[in-house]
Amino acid sequence: MAAHVQASSLPPSASAEGAGIVDGSVNGETERLERPPKRQNQRNNYGSNNQDQPDAAILAVPSVVVRDSGGSRPSRLSGGGGGGPPTNETEEEQGLKYGAQHVIKLFVPVSLCMLVVVATINSISFYSSTDVYLLYTPFHELSPEPSVKLWNALANSLILMSVVVVMTILLIVLYKKRCYRIIHGWLILSSFMLLFIFTYLYLEELLRAYNIPMDYPTALLIMWNFGVVGMMAIHWQGPLRLQQGYLIFVAALMALVFIKYLPEWTAWAVLAAISIWDLIAVLSPRGPLRILVETAQERNEQIFPALIYSSTVIYTYMGTHYTPQQSQATASSSPSSSNSTTTTRATQNSLASPEATVASGSRSGNSRPHPQQNNQNRDGSNTLASEGMPLVTFKSNLRGNAEAAGFTQEWSANLSERVARRQIEVQSTQSGNAQRSNEYRTVTAPDQSHPDGQEERGIKLGLGDFIFYSVLVGKASSYGDWTTTIACFVAILIGLCLTLLLLAIWRKALPALPISITFGLIFCFATSAVVKPFMENLSAKQVFI
């Protein structure tokens, strides 16, 4: 649920980091990675990045890397900063520039998700009427008294939130204890349920809403294909667009489930509560999500990649993964000597926009865009994942099983596999055999990166954010007033923009819900209470302002 959007620079750093990683792998594999360098170093070092790089490159076994990084660097700098070494300002600007692109890359899926939800709400009456309730909302707000409804809603949201908190903590405990199998199984199961059962429910209601008869063989065939492709796309691999499409759909489905099963006022209360929780969990020093992320970084793992929407490929490519995680990991411990340079760089990349600038520079140099931000995104994803967990779990509980939970956590399921794979890859790179690993790591290398087309690292947003944005807009549209819906939509997008802006300024993981949801709630209620009558008066008399 919590979303973090992090803007980080990728490609250039990636190359450097990649090199560093290679070193690390050569030396001591993962252990080394688990000890990140200090942050201060990184910041201070930033200026020396360029100088460091050669070393890193040299350290890196593949010669390609060295070449690429060396070649691309200068060009980037010149391109992005307008010549000369990048100053902080220019870096920032370029961060923003790429930010703009990524903001749009988030706008599109978020809008699509809302579109699906709003269209569904307006065409399938099943989802706009609440007659069955979740186990977690024992108070059904049946009383006409507003005061009773209010305490019902508060109690419901309190219960829901406590479930969320408990599940988050459970997840952290499981994760700390390295119970990967449990998490894995849980995620697979829940994603399975979501992709099959909820989708089937949706299909059925869709067919009913349009009174389309369909025979069971056809329906089963559709369901089977849809579900299996979805499982593969989400958990294993598939075309990027397909994966994104599935994630959007899955988020929309979850949002619909919330809209359907939460009582009126509870839904609003939950929206408010979840954004507050998001704030706490991500920002407070002992916030569970933060702990989760830090743990993951210490272990140098990508926690729950399935919990986030990414404008790039999520599965694959361990090489890149290392770097981002390190960046945050760096915060705590001291780096090993050999790695220090690389790690520091990595951290810099992730933490600071300078990297971003680098990335942009690289992009210009390469004449093809390398959206940065991966590093931090990844962190974001982690946090997301952790946040997503609670959502998932609570949902799953509702349904009796972990069905609902799945989508967000599905990704995490892959985790152990991934770790294993990554190690393999690392080894292979060591030996120099595995081309693939090389490619991934040497993001900057234009030749190698191009074929995959996957290295373009995008910004990432938690599916939880998708869900709650859509819940807000869907709920607003269920009142039948389109101006309210549009106002909510615009407010949420602006909130997202602001969050991203703050991200660029503060350079740390931020929860994406609070600003957007606050704006959305304000505009939803203000519009339906004040603006709507005004606009209706105007449009009834055909007065235009």
Give the residues lining the site for another protein (CB under 8 A). 90, 93-94, 96-97, 99-101, 103-104, 107, 125-126, 197, 200-201, 204-205, 208, 210-211, 216, 481-483, 486-487, 490-491, 493-494, 497, 523, 526-527, 529-545
Q: With respect to another protein, which residue has the nearer C-beta, 360 or 377?
A: 360
Instruction: List all residues 6 or more positions away from 1 whose beta carbon is below 8 Å from its beta carbon.
Output: 164, 274, 277, 278, 384, 387, 388, 390, 391, 462, 464, 465, 467, 468, 513
The distance of closest approach from Cβ of residue 192 to another protein in the complex, given in angstroms and rounded to an integer, is 15
Q: With respect to another protein, which residue has the nearer C-beta, 181 or 208?
A: 208
Pairing, β 308-310 against β 460-462: antiparallel
Contact yes or no for 1/467 (Cβ under 8 A): yes
Cα of first residue to Cα of last residue in the chain, in angstroms, is 39
Length of the chain: 545
Contact yes or no for 304/405 (Cβ under 8 A): no
Transcribe 20-89 into DSSP letters.
HHHHHHHHTHHHHHHSPPPHHHHHHHGGGHHHHHHHHHHHSS-HHHHHHHHHHHHHHHHHHHTSSSPPHH
Q: With respect to another protein, which residue has the nearer C-beta, 430 or 483?
A: 483
The distance of closest approach from Cβ of residue 493 to another protein in the complex, given in angstroms and rounded to an integer, is 5
Q: With respect to another protein, which residue has the nearer C-beta, 90 or 310?
A: 90
- DSSP H or E run through 242: helix 240-261
The distance of closest approach from Cβ of residue 457 to another protein in the complex, given in angstroms and rounded to an integer, is 16
- Residue of 23, 278, 379, 481 marked active site: 278
Amino acid at 494: I
- Residue of 55, 68, 465, 481 marked active site: 465
Q: With respect to another protein, which residue has the nearer C-beta, 96 or 114?
A: 96
Backbone φ and ψ of 237, nearest 5°:
-160, 160
Cα-based distances in Å from 314 to 317, 349, 457, 469: 8, 19, 9, 22
The distance of closest approach from Cβ of residue 494 to another protein in the complex, given in angstroms and rounded to an integer, is 4
Q: Is 215 a catalytic site residue? A: no
The distance of closest approach from Cβ of residue 391 to another protein in the complex, given in angstroms and rounded to an integer, is 20
Separation between Cα atoms, residue 99 and residue 458, nearest integer Å: 10
Tabulate helix, strand, coil % of the chain (nearest 5). Answer: 75, 0, 20
Q: With respect to another protein, which residue has the nearer C-beta, 255 or 493?
A: 493
Q: With respect to another protein, which residue has the nearer C-beta, 74 or 82?
A: 82
Separation between Cα atoms, residue 414 and residue 418, nearest integer Å: 6
The distance of closest approach from Cβ of residue 497 to another protein in the complex, given in angstroms and rounded to an integer, is 6
Give the burial class of 146: count Cβ atoms within 10 A of its Cβ; 0-12 exposed, 13-18 middle, 19 or more buried. exposed
Q: With respect to another protein, which residue has the nearer C-beta, 90 or 343?
A: 90
Look at residue 309 and give its three-state secondary structure. Answer: strand
Q: Is 465 a catalytic site residue? A: yes
The distance of closest approach from Cβ of residue 334 to another protein in the complex, given in angstroms and rounded to an integer, is 37
Contact yes or no for 492/118 (Cβ under 8 A): no
Contact yes or no for 458/102 (Cβ under 8 A): yes
Separation between Cα atoms, residue 348 and residue 350, nearest integer Å: 5
The distance of closest approach from Cβ of residue 80 to another protein in the complex, given in angstroms and rounded to an integer, is 9
Backbone φ and ψ of 511, nearest 5°:
-75, 135
Active-site residue set: 278, 465
